[in-house]
Structure 1
Amino acid sequence: MTFKPVQSEKLSHSVIQQIEQLILRGILRPGERLPSERVLSEKMGVSRPSLREAVADLQVRGLLDSRAGAGLYVAEALGASFPPALSQLFASHDEAVFDYLDFRSDMEGLAGERAARLGSDTDLQVIDAIFRKMEAASTDPDPTIEATLDAEFHLSIVEASHNIIMLHMMRSMYDLLREGVFFNRQVMFKQRTSRQTLLDQHRAINNALQTRDATACRAAIEAHIGFIKSALLDQKKTYHNEAVARLRLDHEKTR
């Protein structure tokens, strides 16, 4: 057996590994701007040439993007699982919408269980802080603020699950989640579902997490998304019934 001398690790490789880990763990997000070269080299304790060598490697592999006159960014492509055209198809066809909700129920239920068991105290504080913002926004006349926080609340639970595959899968679907939240709320408000009802459902999820009750957390998430699915089905029936009623009315007018 032949042994080779151990070589010290290049500084640029250490920089690469650190940035890779920050992206992998979801700390650096797609589209996020990195500090300037000067600040980065100072924070990481490396020379600018070593930093440039690392950045060049990360750019070649599609992890970082350089924008002329704007600096260095985490590649937007890392957050895009579906092209916009496919996302629009999902939103406009019932089959995809209901499959999407089933997928969310399965994945977020599992994430909630993991977050209750494996999330750190700080993770739970982040989730609770977002929920408190939802409470404050629930009385704002503009419901879009609360809807945005709704999406952030669900994503924070996935982050607290500490499963990097699940994290990036759900992060990549953020646009679908965000658009789904807005669409779901619009439908439910048409049915006079109160914002308080939705807030109470999120409160049940948060309470289960804060007490680290994994079973109750999964049940609360599944109940919440099941409620959304039921509301969408009811609205679908309402649209169908209205279409039939209009046909009857048109027929009566021509008799």
Structure 2
Amino acid sequence: MTEQVVFQKVNKEDAVNDILDQIIKAIEDGLLHEGDALPTERKMAEQMTVSRPVVREALHSLRLLGIIHSVQGGANYITDDFNQCMITPLTLLFRMNRSTVTQVQQLRSSLEVESASLAAEKCTEEDAAELEWYLKKLDQEENDRERASLDRELHLKIASIADNPMIYQVLCASSVLIENMITDIRALVMQKEKSTKGIDQEHRNLVRAIMSHDTRDARRRMNEHMWTVTGYVRTIEENKRSCGEG
């Protein structure tokens, strides 16, 4: 509980980093948990013998990292979901490097293949039931936006089954960057093939391999699916580039 958290006097020469280290260590040691409120800025400043602006600067850094969030009135809380912490910094990194959608997709592809293999190792009966539910919903849903959302959720579910927080977080970040991409891909598939049955069948083959705990086939099926998706991404990016040049 936050009442048990007592911060120590900080090194004035590196005060901000020292504050960050103390808060992160409190989380690691179980003194702060997801959703817990931090002590007030005034109380933290008193315990650490620094000014409130210094504490405020450290808290701002934690907000950028997604480790804490603020509510109206100025209270600061530990994030409810540590799995989301890398979204903001990675998004900023991609934007600062002017990464293209194709480059983001290349990163996503490599992680998706590994997550499929790990998911095949660790898939439980409960996980399998959830995967089946997503396939059923995709078959039933006719709205393209809803199907795109289900598509994204299916892939993140596979990543969560893989049980590797780093893979999951980076995939979440890349999904945020290209959150409209799946809808665009489905629109392009419909335009070219008048159907999304090909991609839907790839999903079924992939889920079947994961549920069968066949790691090799899961890698192969995800690789095939990512190859299809990457092809459409490149087409979309080329179309947008042509429109821009025109």
Shorter-chain TM-score tier: 0.5 to 0.7
Aligned residues: 200
2:198 equivalent to 1:194: no
Give the distance between the partners of 1:19 and 1:130, measured in 2 at CA: 37
Unaligned runs of 5+ in 1: 1-8, 24-33, 35-39, 41-50, 91-95, 243-255
Letter of the structure 1 residue corresponding to residue 92 of structure 2: P
Letter of the structure 2 residue corresponding to residue 147 of structure 1: A
Question: How big is the shift at 1:170?
Answer: 1.5
SS at match of 1:173: helix
1:44-77 Cα distance to aligned partner (Å, 9 max, x none): xxxxxxx6649988x9454222311698572898
The change in CA–CA distance for 1:10 and 1:114 in structure 2 (over 3 A counts) is same
1:119-165 Cα distance to aligned partner (Å, 9 max, x none): 4433333333222222221xx2x211001110111111111111111
Question: How big is the shift at 1:89?
Answer: 5.1
CA contact (8 A) 1:65 1:75 kept: no
2:113 equivalent to 1:101: no
Question: How big is the shift at 1:111?
Answer: 0.5
Residue among 58, 82, 98 paired with 2:91 = 82
1:162-191 Cα distance to aligned partner (Å, 9 max, x none): 111112221222312422212222222222
CA contact (8 A) 2:116 2:215 kept: yes
Mapping of residues 151-166 of structure 1, within 5 Å: 151-166=152-167
2:188 equivalent to 1:179: no
The change in CA–CA distance for 1:177 and 1:238 in structure 2 (over 3 A counts) is closer
Q: Which position in structure 2 is the counterpart of 1:12?
A: 4
Question: How big is the shift at 1:193?
Answer: 4.7
SS at match of 1:83: helix
- Give the aligned CA root-mean-square deviation in angstroms: 4.2
Unaligned runs of 5+ in 2: 6-24, 45-57
The change in CA–CA distance for 1:229 and 1:67 in structure 2 (over 3 A counts) is same
CA contact (8 A) 1:12 1:53 kept: no
Work out which of the two has the higher radius of gyration on C-alpha atoms and give 1 or 2. Answer: 1
Letter of the structure 2 residue corresponding to residue 82 of structure 1: T
Give the distance between the partners of 1:181 and 1:196, measured in 2 at CA: 14
Question: How big is the shift at 1:15?
Answer: 8.6
Question: How big is the shift at 1:228?
Answer: 2.2
Mapping of residues 43-82 of structure 1, within 5 Å: 53=39, 60=59, 61-62=62-63, 63-68=67-72, 72=77, 74=79, 78=85, 79-80=87-88, 81-82=90-91
The change in CA–CA distance for 1:124 and 1:88 in structure 2 (over 3 A counts) is farther
